[in-house]
Amino acid sequence: MQNSVSQGLSYLSQGVDLVKRKELRPFVLIPLTINLVLFSVMLFWGYGQVVALNAWLTGLLPAWLDWLTFLVWPLALLSALLFVGYGFSIIANLIASPFNGFLSEKAEQLLTGEQTGEPLTLKGAMALVPHAIGREFKKLKYYLPLLFLALLCYVVPAVNLVAPAIWFLLNAWMMSIQYLDYPIDNAQLPFDDVLKTAKDHRQTSLGFGGAVAVCTGIPLLNLFIMPVAICAATAMWVDAKPTTPKNDLIE
């Protein structure tokens, strides 16, 4: 396999195929339920953020650039969709993280044919909550400085016109990090290995993460993207991990 954006996109297709498997249905149901509840809340909140961001961006324009006002609304809408989409993803993954790990584990079993781990129980999932939440906060620790720099672009003249593109690239990168973490964590590897895997397959990671970022910003579609992205990232990890004999993704 080549390390390319198109390869990253192909993993999302693999994720769609995997979530259709009857063996994964019990593990897909929980993330879908959590997404449905959160989506209802954030859809209402997100509309207000689009209006507020539009007003703020318009206010940043000097009088002599008033003619650019027609560009502000689509920029505000795109930025808000990406912000709400990633915020939605963070909260949903934080709540569902123990169950997401189980879904990734079962998806890897289907892909490799190796049976590992015990059947999912509520007690077992609850026992994993402290570790899973700790892992999510490691992602946030990595993400927040990058978030600050991306937001800073919105207040720098001229640079703020390309700020949505910078914001999109950051979201694409973080979506890849977010979902690759589940199978890599299941392998009991540290968070640094997640970053190394993504960097070693940068184009593939951006292709995969970019597709997920777009889906999280589309109402209704973002209800289903979490389990699909988990399965897709697991397929990517199965191909990318050093112990996989058929791996030719790493170059």
Nearest to 184 by CA among 141, 131, 228, 240: 240
Q: Each residue of 37-78: pLDDT tens digit?
A: 776 676 666 666 666 665 665 665 556 555 555 565 566 666
Collapsed DSSP state (helix, strand, coil) of residue 15: helix
Nearest to 9 by CA among 176, 221, 241, 200: 176
| Residue located via tokens 């397929």 | 235
pTM of the full structure: 0.75
Whole-number mean pLDDT of the chain? 78
Distance separating alpha carbons of residues 107 and 24, to the nearest angstrom: 7
Looking at residue 150, its pLDDT comes to 86
Looking at residue 244, its pLDDT comes to 45
> Higher confidence at residue 61 or residue 201?
201
> Higher confidence at residue 247 or residue 178?
178
Angle at 204 between CA 168 and CA 148, to 5 degrees: 30
